[in-house]
Amino acid sequence: MWFVGQWFRAEKQVSDEEQLGSIKADVAAIKQAVTVMRPAVSPTPQFEPIADPIANVLFREAKAAMDSGLNHSALLTAGVAFEHSLRRFSEARGVVDSPRLPVARILKWLRDDVGLSIAEDLAALWKVRNIIVHLRDEQLLESDQARQLLESFEWAIRYLTAPQAFHSPTELHS
């Protein structure tokens, strides 16, 4: 029995290392997508609050946690703000029962509304959020990676709470 326990323990450690590799790849993809989108996006000043008050409070708490060196807690809180913003965004676009739908289904439904590129970026960020939620060791995230992820969450939250700031009204509905 002891051997079986050790086997599963070793298997879990390998799984954590694979998830870390997946996080690094997803962070790189999100960073590249944000970099590509920045020229088309008017910059949002850092001091400007997020449009949704709940998401704004949650994200401020996430930034404070990050500034205190609590990377895992910061990303978990940013993930909550992201999910809240995504569900509010989908409700505003007429997704029925969005508070109870799985996020993957919401993202699939919103693909036509936000465009394939943004939908893929949001889906990749959701995947990273799920990995972060299930990490057992918060030290697996390096500070630079955690800050990049926090910036990615901020971009997504700002987009979802005020998409008109990122697109002209005709682009948003076409």
Joined together, the tokens standing for residue 96 give 């029925």
Spans of all domains in the chain: 2-40+52-173
Amino acid identity for residue 152 in this structure: S
What is the SS3 assignment for 95? coil
Whole-angstrom Cα distance, residue 39 to residue 41? Answer: 6
Q: Between the CA atoms of 66, 72, 77 and 79, what dihedral angle is there, to the nearest 10 degrees?
A: 120
- pLDDT for 14: 58
Cα distances (angstroms) measured from residue 113 to each of 122, 135, 157: 13, 32, 16
Q: Is the pLDDT of residue 6 over 70?
A: no
Average pLDDT, the chain: 80
**83-130 pLDDT, tens digit each:** 999 999 999 988 878 888 899 899 988 888 888 889 999 999 999 999
Give the count of beta carbons closer than 10 Å to the beta carbon of residue 4.
8
DSSP 19: H
Joined together, the tokens standing for residue 128 give 């990273």
Task: Confirm if 146 and 131 have CB atoms less than 8 A apart.
Answer: no
Residue corresponding to tokens 């001091």: 47
Calculate mean pLDDT across residues 71-93. Answer: 93
